[in-house]
Structure 1
Amino acid sequence: MAYATQQDLIDRFGEEELIQLTDRTNLPASTIDADVVMAALSDAEALADSYLAKRYQLPLDPVPDVLTRTVADIARYFLHGRRTDKDDPVTRDYGQALAWLKDVANGLVELGAAGIAPDQSGDGQVQVSGPGRVFSRDNLSGF
């Protein structure tokens, strides 16, 4: 299930902004390029999943509204590309979205979605294995 759709982006940021960001063939820009929007949404969802997978079984169903907003902000940032500077509201929203995803991954924020991530294997201890020792007291006793 998709976390955000093209219509979510239109509802949040306006159709005119999406036309300006995605129409790369018409001058002046006049239509939304759905392929460009889907690529940005797909990238944003993959980024969100990389954080959510630490605590939740994916895909999330139902999708919490806060996650839809977060993915929409990330997709908008991806659509803007290099056109934003560090003080731009688009960059600010992207930074807030990443900070929120980090908080979810660290367990500081709960999504209220079904499916906490499966238990980690092992009992929390690190196990290391390797080859036997090359040098020991016995084989270096004459040196």
Structure 2
Amino acid sequence: MPILTRAELEARIGSDDIVRLADRDAPAGEDAGAVQAAIDDAEHEVLAYVRKATSAPIPDPAPPVLKRLVAVIARYNLWRRDVPVEHPAYVAYKDAIRELQAIAAGQVALPFDDGGSPVVSLGAGIGWAPPRVMTDAALAGMGP
């Protein structure tokens, strides 16, 4: 299930901009598959962070926050990640990455589309181990 479709990306950033950015060898027209590749790469990048926070399936349709993050990253991908640090596409991308890092760290919960319960976080692992036998005190008399 895709998080964001091309039509949704066009609604967010404009079809003219998408066509212009996807035309890598102007004036030949839009490169085949460039837009879908940018969206796919953006979805994988978003999911890499989200999967650190939850193992729950992404609801269909995906929460608006995920759609927005995928759109921002897809736009940056269409720029071929080759823009100066002050460019709006780069600034938006860095903001999206900070938000994804907060999601991955469990600082931000992902709401379901209906605004209901947040997606369950995996949290920290809990474990048990026997007491240590090889301590500094136990080894103190064994040196030269």
* Shorter-chain TM band: 0.7 to 0.9
CA distance in 2, matches of 1:76, 1:103: 21
Q: Given residue 21 of structure 1, which amino acid in structure 2 is its aligned partner?
A: L
In structure 2, the gaps of 5 or more residues are 113-117, 131-138
In structure 2, the residue matched to 1:9 is 9
Please tell me whether Structure 1 or Structure 2 has the larger radius of gyration of its CA atoms: 1
Contact 1:49 1:58 in 2 (8 A): no
What's the secondary structure of 2:2's corresponding residue?
coil
Residue number in structure 2 paired with 1:40: 38
Aligned mates of 1:95, 1:56 — CA distance in 2: 22
TM-superposition CA deviations, 1:99-127 (whole Å, max 9, x none): 00011111111111364255776x24689
Contact kept? 1:19, 1:29, Cα under 8 Å: no
Which residue number in structure 2 is paired with residue 116 of structure 1? Answer: 120
Give me the whole-angstrom Cα distance separating, in 2, the residues matched to 1:12 and 1:85: 22
CA offset digits 1:49-94 (Å, max 9, x no partner): 1111112225401311011011110011011014411000000110
TM score, norm. by length of structure 1: 0.75
- C-alpha separation between the residues in 2 aligned to 1:6 and 1:101? 22
Q: Indicate the residue corresponding to 1:55 in structure 2.
A: 53
* Partners of 1:104 and 1:61 in 2: CA distance: 16
* Paired residue type of 1:43: D
Q: Which runs of 4+ in 1 moved over 6 A?
A: none
Would the alpha carbon gap of residues 51 and 88 (structure 1) be closer, same or farther in structure 2, given more than 3 Å must change? Answer: same
- RMSD value over aligned CA atoms? 2.9
Corresponding residue for residue 134 of structure 2:
none
CA distance in 1, matches of 2:3, 2:19: 21
- Report what 2:135 is aligned to: none
Q: Contact 1:51–1:101 (CA<8 Å) still a contact in 2?
A: yes
Aligned length: 131
CA distance in 1 between counterparts of 2:106 and 2:16 reads 37
Cα separation, 2, equivalents of 1:126 and 1:40: 46
Taking a change above 3 Å as real, the CA distance of residues 119 and 104 of structure 1, as seen in their structure-2 partners, is: closer
